[in-house]
Structures are given as C-alpha cells and as structure tokens.
Amino acid sequence: MAGLCIIAHVDAGKTTTTEAMLYNSGATRHLGNVDRGNTVTDFLPMEMKRGITIQSAAITFKWPPPERLRPGAHEHIINLIDTPGHVDFRFEVERCIPILDGAVCVIDGVEGVEAHTERVWASAQEFKVPRIILVNKLDREGASFKKSVQDIGMKLNGMPLVCQIPWWENDTVKGIVDVASRSVVSWPHAAKDDNSPEELAKQTPPFTDEIERARDRLIEQLCDQDERLLDLWTDQGATSPSRRLKVPSAVSSVVAKDLLFRPQDRPELNVRIGSEIQPLSKVIEATRHAKVSKKEQTQVEAVASVFKVVNDPKREKYAFVDSNLQDFERPLNIMQISAKNHMEIPHLTPGQIGALTGLKRARTGDTLMAFTGNKKPTTKIGQVKVRPPDIPPAVAFLVMEPKTPSGLKHIEASLENLSREDPSVRWSYNEKSDEFTLSGMGSLHLEIARDRLENHYKVEALWGGIQVEYKECVTIPTDIHRAVIDKPIAGKPGMAACSALVEPLDANPAEIRPQLVNGAIAALAAGPRKGAPFNQCLLTITFDASTDYFGPTPAGHYVGAAQRAVRTAVVESYKKREENIGILEPVMSVTITCPESAAKAVQHDLHSARGGQVLEVRDMQDNTAVREGGRIEVSDIYAPPDPYEFQTSLRETRQGSLRMLEIVAQVPLKEMLDYDNVLRSKTAGRHSLTMALDTFVRVTGAREKAL
C-alpha cells in the first residue's frame, strides 16, 4: 500500500491523469472528462463549473488490474490525492505532500516546466518525497518531449532519468517504449486494430539505435548513484537483466511506481516541541525514561497529523489523517475516503489515507494523539506537533455583513468552520460596523470561499468587492508608554501594569518570530491609519516587578495592560505626525508567458502603468543558460530528439512561427487583480499568468496619497 499525490501547474492535466489511472486500473468503467464535468475527484459544483481542481481529493485503487497481473506477483493498493494547481491553493497542496510516499509531477509537453511546478517541486524536495515525472499533452500543437526533459534539469535543478520514449506516428503517439526492458507499451482504450497492445508488443520501433542510446545513458546515470549497480553492470555488462535496473533511494527523481518509498521505508518523522525539531522516536524514548509517578504515567498509542478537515452535512465534520504512526476529542468512526464516497473501516494501516468523523474542534494542521487513560501526559510527548502549518500572510480581503440581525451567529459559526477546513482563510468581526472581514491568498481563493459560504453553509450576506490587504508599520520609534489596569475584568478584581515600545524592524519579518503576549497581538491587529494589521515592527514589552507588580492578579489584567500600552504608543505616535505610521502593500512575484510579439507591450505596461519591475525576460526555447546555483549543464542531460521536429517546423512555418517569452517581474497586487483579462486583449489569449506573494513594501509618494 502506498500514498501518492499528483502535483503540477494549473491546466497541466492532473485531473485528466487521475482519470486515466482510475480507468486503466479498472476502478472506473468510463474515462471522466474535465470539460464535461464528470470526473471522479472534481465533484464540487464550482470545480465542475470552472474546470479546475479547488480542493484535494483522495481516491483508492488497485494496480495492476487482474488481466495485467503477472504470475506470482501481488497487486498494489494505491491511495491517490489529486491536488489543486492554482497558486492561490498552494497551502492545500503543501499540507498533502509531506504525508505521502511519492508524487507524480505532471508537465505540459507544450509549456514545459511552469512557475507553480517549480514551487510545488521545491516543497516535495523539502520533505524528501520522491517524484515520478509525466510529460503530458504530447499530442498538442508545439509539444516537445526533448524540451520538457531539458526543462526538468534546468528549472527543477535535478538530473532527469529518461525511462520511456514516445513512439510517434505522424502527429499521434502510437505507443510508449520502455527503455530498460526495450518493450512497447500502449493503453487498451486508445488501441485500434494493429495498434493494440498485443500487436504493438510484436513490432520493432524504427528508432532502435535511440532506444539503445537511451538505455546506455540511463544505466550510466544510475551507476553514478549506486556502487552495487556499477559492480553488477561491470560484471554482467549488457546482459544484465532489466529487472535489476531500479533507481536507488539516493536519486530524487524516480521513474517507476515500484521504486517509490513504501510507507515503512519513509524517512523517520520529525516533530516539533516548542522551537526544537527532533525525531519522534527520540521524544518517545525520552518519555519512557522521564521521572513521572506511576499514577501520572500515560502511554502514547498513536500519533496522527490532520492534513485536511471537511464539513460534510451528511456525516457532520470529518478530518483526514495520515497514519504515520490538547483537548480531548472522541471520534465516532474511521472512514475510508474515495472522492465523495465513504466506507467505514475498523482501523488505518501504514500508507492508508482515512478520516475520523465527529471531531468538533480539530483543525487542518493539528496533531492528534491517542493515550492510555483519560489524563493528558505530563511529559514532552504531550507537546508534540507534527508539521504545524506555516500559513503565509493574506494578500486580499472582502467585507460582508449579515442581511438580518438573526444571521450574525450563523455567519460566525460558518466562518469558524471554513477556517478550520482552510486555515489560510482568516476572518474578523467589527462590532461597531457589524461587518465581517474575510482574508485570503488571492482573488480566486476568496471567490471560492464566498461560493462555499453561500452554497454549502447557506450564508445570507451583503458582500463587498475583493480588495488588497494592506499592512501598517511604524516609521520611527514610538515613545515608551506605561499602562495600568485597575478594574474588574470578567468579574475578577485585580491590578496589572507594563510598558511598551514599538520600533521599525529592518530585518525580514518572516524570519522574526517574537513571542508576543495576547494583548500586544490584539493591539497590533488594527492600526490607526487604515485599521490594517501591523507588520515589520519590533515590539518591546517591559515588565518591571518593582513598579508593575501589585500582587496576585488574573491573567486577563496583564493582557489588558499590554494591549492598552501598545495601542496608546502607536496612536499617540500617529497623532504627532501622520507619516509616523506607514502603509505596506503586498508585492507579487509575477511570471507571464506570452508570444514575442506581445512581450514588449506587456513589459511596458507592467513597468510604466502598474509600477512594477521587470526582473528577467527568457526565451522559452533557449536552454543554454544554467540555472543560478545549479550544477547541471544542458549538455549533461540526455533527451531523445523529437522525431517529428522536421514536420513540426514545416507546419509552424505555414501557420506562422510562435516564439514564446517568459517575463518575470515584481508588481503590486493592487495592479494585478484583473490582469488576466488585460493580458487576454494583448496576447489574443495565448498567455499564462501565475503570481505569488513576494514581500510587503511601503507605499510612498503619489501611490500613498491615492490611498
């Protein structure tokens, strides 16, 4: 049993690949189609309407099917997750990747390696998840297997090992030749007459020299990574059986299903306790030797990571868990999830993806534990966190208000459930204006969140438009302000005090994680200029026992004192001079692919009209430059020539050669909210656009006045 996910850039064909895997395994009788909205994993109404994957979906199937099972071989159970490709849902993808045993990275054979593919590839690399690469859409105009292979080496900075070569006949892929075994492979649903798998297996492809060349290069690259294979090849030479040609675990880009990790072969799980990261086995071992009274001893039975929470009206809430192995929760059932279908099971085995139903408080990213007894553990094991979520800052928001006063509680509960499903969706409530603010990762992210609130949670509200999420910062240090709280809070008397100083922070805020008290965080949640959260600030809270301690005091008083001190510091600084509080706006890293004929107009528009900065312009057909920091030269990469290159060149000459350029730029998000439509008019629809948050930059000059 193994867990796999499919990762790629949007529109590379992830869901179509999933459908082909299900059909060829015998799990489905019909091949689903994204355009017709009848795929297994894209079952949400919004997914079928837009033709894109919005949420990750799990499906289980067996491979190979009975008719392909060799004598003495065993079938494999594969748990597959189809993930979203749009950058707005990157958080969803990155919660899925670490729990799996391998990933299938799908590349568009026309576009090659695209921007978002590089991002999800880096995430898989971080968690040491081995990858299979599938070059898709080779039947499209302008597809190039050779360029796609070279792109893998140049953009993903890893040596691609070519294990299969497409067998072309005119503009159609007739079959696939496996390099190691020299055998021909084809799929039954595409077979016709003499192109059936049986007939193809008897034929000899017209490019046998290239097959041998590819085989030699594959073996050569594998021997560089595995001394045992090198010794075997040296001893046996070309007679070495193909079944021994397996990629060693040291090679990250694997090329066959049975070469991925088995669940029991995955690297040991590292967990976080406070700021320290260490292997789970080390934590468990330390717990066994901890000096704890027999009465307080608790034994850990299981540890699970919640990688997804879903609110199902039929079964209430259920949480997807990874079975690699503090509030008490009592799940009702364990379920096997297969897209929108559920089946109750007694337990989860290694490599299996399942769900616990009935959890009322668990959130995506939480860690669940099962203990003996009913007491929380007193040792460090009770503080373990498995891959706690690292949520990027929001870049866009919209405002909503209930249509009726009675709808307030329903909206609040719905938003709470939505943020449990997706922690990258954040919300707040303004009692004065009676409005809710919903923040997210981009326009599409917020559109999907609104659709889910309206259609799934049946929220009735008045909606504002999507706007840019600004931040505020201090431009000079504030004065030190001391605050004293001397009144009952929540019916409890007490007295507390502290002093606060807020200063500009020059370092990258993503690298600074100060442990702020709750009151200080609350004070910085809304600034005095736009009511926006503070960012890039160094906050110093001073507590002097000689002046600030008044005896035993409830915690709420210290929270209140800190909140008042910080709030007073920034408000008084703003009153002295408006410029003391600055405005920060999100600036996006933008990648645009467009025809050369439109590139100059796009660059000029980004720079002159939208205040952006063009960083790089690259010819998509140019593979001569080595990626910065990389060690791979194009000449080192084996990529078989495209046997149809000559015919393609003639066809493109007749239709007009289309040279594509890739433009990389930094642009304020405010100028990019509807830029896809602007590009459509400049490129006649022949473009792609991806963007992700790069940083927050202070707004100055005319742009600041316009706000």
Write the CATH number for 97: 3.40.50.300
Residue recorded with tokens 């560089």: 224
Q: Which of 427, 444, 463 is the last residue of a domain?
A: 463
pLDDT tens-digit readout, 673-689: 889 889 988 988 888 88
Q: Which of 229, 260, 291 is the last residue of a domain?
A: 260
Q: Which helix (H) or strand (E) holds 563?
A: helix 555-576
Candidate ranges 78-87, 246-255, 691-700; pick with highest mean pLDDT: 691-700
pLDDT tens-digit readout, 478-520: 999 999 999 998 888 999 999 999 998 764 433 323 334 578 8
3-state secondary structure string, 655-680? HCCCCEEEEEEEEEHHHCCCHHHHHH
The answer to whether residues 30 and 150 belong to one domain is: yes
Provide the token pair at 703.
């742009």
The answer to whether residues 42 and 97 belong to one domain is: yes
Is 524 inside a domain boundary?
yes
The answer to whether residues 208 and 293 belong to one domain is: no
With bands split at pLDDT 50, 70 and 90, how would you rate the model's confidence at 636? confident
The answer to whether residues 570 and 590 belong to one domain is: no
With bands split at pLDDT 50, 70 and 90, how would you rate the model's confidence at 613? very high
Find how far residue 219's CA is from the centre of its chain.
Answer: 34
Q: Which helix (H) or strand (E) holds 466?
A: none
Q: Which residue, 490, 572, 567, 479, is CA-closest to 527?
A: 567
**Number of domains composing the chain:** 6
Percent of the chain predicted with pLDDT > 90: 18
Tell me, what's the pLDDT at 601? 94
Query: Which burial class, exposed, middle or buried, applies to 214 when counting CB atoms under 10 A from its CB (0-12, 13-18, 19+)?
Result: buried
Is 544 inside a domain boundary?
yes
For range 226-240, the mean pLDDT: 70
The answer to whether residues 590 and 667 belong to one domain is: yes
CB atoms within 10 A of CB 683: 20
The answer to whether residues 146 and 175 belong to one domain is: no
Query: Which burial class, exposed, middle or buried, applies to 550 when counting CB atoms under 10 A from its CB (0-12, 13-18, 19+)?
Result: middle
For strands 102-108 and 2-8, give the pairing.
parallel
pLDDT tens-digit readout, 447-460: 889 988 998 889 99
Is 388 inside a domain boundary?
no
Of 287-291, 307-311, 369-373, 469-473, where does mean pLDDT reach its minimum?
287-291
Tell me, what's the pLDDT at 247? 45
Is 390 inside a domain boundary?
no
Tell me, what's the pLDDT at 181? 82
For range 106-129, the mean pLDDT: 85
CA–CA–CA angle 115, 118, 121 (5° rounding): 150
* Residue 458, phi-psi category: left (phi > 0), alpha (psi -120 to 50), beta (remainder): left
Q: Which residue, 86, 115, 98, is CA-closest to 5?
A: 98
Cβ–Cβ < 8 Å for 151, 623: yes
Q: Which residue, 364, 374, 430, 357, is CA-closest to 397?
A: 430
Q: What is the largest CA-CA distance in the chain?
A: 92
The answer to whether residues 215 and 320 belong to one domain is: no
Provide the token pair at 46.
């919004």
Is 433 inside a domain boundary?
yes
Tell me, what's the pLDDT at 98? 80
Q: Which helix (H) or strand (E) holds 153?
A: helix 145-155
The answer to whether residues 12 and 94 belong to one domain is: yes
Is 392 inside a domain boundary?
no
Q: Supply the CATH number for residue 450's domain.
A: 3.30.70.870
**497 DSSP β-pair partners:** 484
Tell me, what's the pLDDT at 513? 34
Q: Which of 383, 406, 439 is the last residue of a domain?
A: 383
Residue 251 has pLDDT above 50, yes or no: no
Query: Which burial class, exposed, middle or buried, applies to 227 when counting CB atoms under 10 A from its CB (0-12, 13-18, 19+)?
Result: exposed
Q: Using CA atoms, how far apart are residues 573 and 586, in angstroms rounded to an integer? A: 24
pLDDT tens-digit readout, 176-203: 888 888 888 765 444 455 566 667 777 7
CB atoms within 10 A of CB 563: 22
Tell me, what's the pLDDT at 249? 37
The answer to whether residues 521 and 450 belong to one domain is: no
Residue 438 has pLDDT above 90, yes or no: yes
Higher pLDDT, 338 or 138: 138
Provide the token pair at 105.
């990275």
Tell me, what's the pLDDT at 322? 65
Task: Give the three-class secondary structure for 391.
Answer: coil
Residue 599 has pLDDT above 70, yes or no: yes
Percent of the chain predicted with pLDDT > 70: 78
The answer to whether residues 144 and 169 belong to one domain is: no
The answer to whether residues 14 and 145 belong to one domain is: yes
Is 288 inside a domain boundary?
yes
Residue recorded with tokens 């007459």: 193
Residue 385 has pLDDT above 80, yes or no: yes
Cβ–Cβ < 8 Å for 501, 480: yes
What is the domain range of residue 621? 585-706
Tell me, what's the pLDDT at 142? 79
Is 419 inside a domain boundary?
yes
3-state secondary structure string, 431-444? CCCCEEEEEECCHH
The answer to whether residues 1 and 150 belong to one domain is: yes
Tell me, what's the pLDDT at 570? 94
